[in-house]
Amino acid sequence: MKEFWKKTFGLAIPLFIGLAMTVITFFIIFRFEGIAKAFSALLSIMITFVYGGVMAYLLKTPYNWIEKKLGKLFKGKKPGLVRGLSVIIVLLLTLAIIIILLQMVIPALVESIVSIINEVPAATASLEKLVADFAADNEVIGNYIYQGINAISTGGVTWLKDTILPELGGIMGGVAGAFGSVIGVIYNILIGMIICIYLLLGKSNFARQGKMVIYSIFKRNTAEKVLDEFAFIDKTFVGFFGGKILDSAVVGMICYVFCLIMQLTLGMKNAVLIAVIIGVTNIIPFFGPFIGAIPSALIIMMDSPICCLIFIIFVVILQTVDGNVIGPMLLSGSVGLSGFWVLFAITLFGGLLGIVGILIGVPVFAVIYDFIKRQVYKMLAKHEISEYLPPKPAEEEA
């Protein structure tokens, strides 16, 4: 009888797990909006912990390096003091870097923006003269252009009267709400910094507790495989984001040097603004260079079409070099995805999660891709199909 119930339970448990997974999949597919709303509500409640976790994860690598150096300095003694000093040093260094960058960039950005605003009337007048000269030589096309301008002018007045003016009250309320949201973001960041400090100080303890939970759930061999997966995920994310930030900084500096040369030789303006736009948007995989190049080219074209043409050629060359030399060298194959799968990951996760999905989609998909690849290789080896398996290292063959 005991053997009968044991066999029955052995058959029932897989069936129950399969039924549960089917029900969960059904709810995910057909109740996705409700799940998304619940997740959004939970995220808004836990947003300070999200900020703190992201800060701690980004500072983890420099913190580990500082902690290791201080540990050698103190010869392994007073670990609590070493952790505290490491947190203070990494926070002060981060704050100092941010302040230095802001002091270097913000004045130049403000100057560039003010210069662009001052140049708008002259650019408009130049455009009007160009249209007038063109219309004088091409009467038919000129009439269409003037009709379009008149339609835009008339429609603009009507739009302002019927749409914008009635909405001013709502706009003022929106401004007040935006101000309140800015205050809320600042508050969340400050609380997130406190949470970040707690996470960095308790990093070893949290890691130990996580391992205890995993070892308590799985057998030792399975638990070690799970921990290896987490280590691979961590390596992929750190390698991707660290390399991408460094790559964007290098691209921004190269662009700034080029813009300075253009400024000295051809009188091009707004070098800092252009370099910041190119460097920041380069963080976005695949689409970033195009996103940054379009507004930059428009800004340059307002001042000099020749400089704009030269800049476009330079950006094409820069992005080619970055995509084939600088990027792969700094990322060091951290994601291991081809251009097709990078585009697929950005499209998929960008559609699901917006800008967050665009930023994290590539490393997340790289982890999924690697897991599926290893399972496929495992099944091929099980079925003794060796022609599709990767070659073994020379040491294993020996």
Is the Cβ–Cβ distance between 211 and 227 less than 8 Å? yes
pLDDT, tens only, 114-136: 766 676 666 666 666 666 666 66
pLDDT, tens only, 332-373: 555 667 667 777 887 887 777 777 777 777 788 888 888 888
Mean pLDDT of 102-122: 69
Of 18-32, 69-83, 133-147, 149-163, the range with the lowest mean pLDDT is: 149-163
Quickly state the pLDDT bin for 178 (edges 50, 70, 90).
very low
Mean pLDDT of 78-98: 87
Flag whether pLDDT at 252 surpasses 50.
yes
Produce one character per residue of 153-164: b if its CB has 16 or more CB atoms within 10 Å, e if not: eeeeeeeeeeee
Please give the full DSSP string across 117-137, using - where no structure is assigned: HHHHHHHHHHHHHHHHHHHHH
Gap between the Cα atoms of 66 and 88, Å rounded = 10
pLDDT, tens only, 198-222: 888 888 888 888 889 888 888 888 8
pLDDT at 12: 61
pLDDT at 264: 86
pLDDT at 189: 83
pLDDT at 295: 82
Gap between the Cα atoms of 354 and 286, Å rounded = 15
Quickly state the pLDDT bin for 248 (edges 50, 70, 90).
confident
39 Cβ contact list (under 8 Å, min separation 6): none
Flag whether pLDDT at 236 surpasses 60.
yes
Of 122-126, 275-279, 287-291, the range with the lowest mean pLDDT is: 122-126
pLDDT, tens only, 301-328: 777 788 888 888 998 888 888 877 777 6
Flag whether pLDDT at 94 surpasses 80.
yes
For the record, the structure tokens of 81 come out as 């003091």
Is the Cβ–Cβ distance between 326 and 251 less than 8 Å? yes
Flag whether pLDDT at 269 surpasses 70.
yes
Matching residue, tokens 């302002």: 160
Residue 135 exposure: Cα atoms within 13 Å on the Cβ side: 14
Q: How far, in whole angstroms, is CA 130 from its chain's centroid? A: 41
Mean pLDDT of 156-170: 53
Of 141-145, 300-304, 317-321, 388-392, the range with the lowest mean pLDDT is: 141-145
Mean pLDDT of 157-165: 54
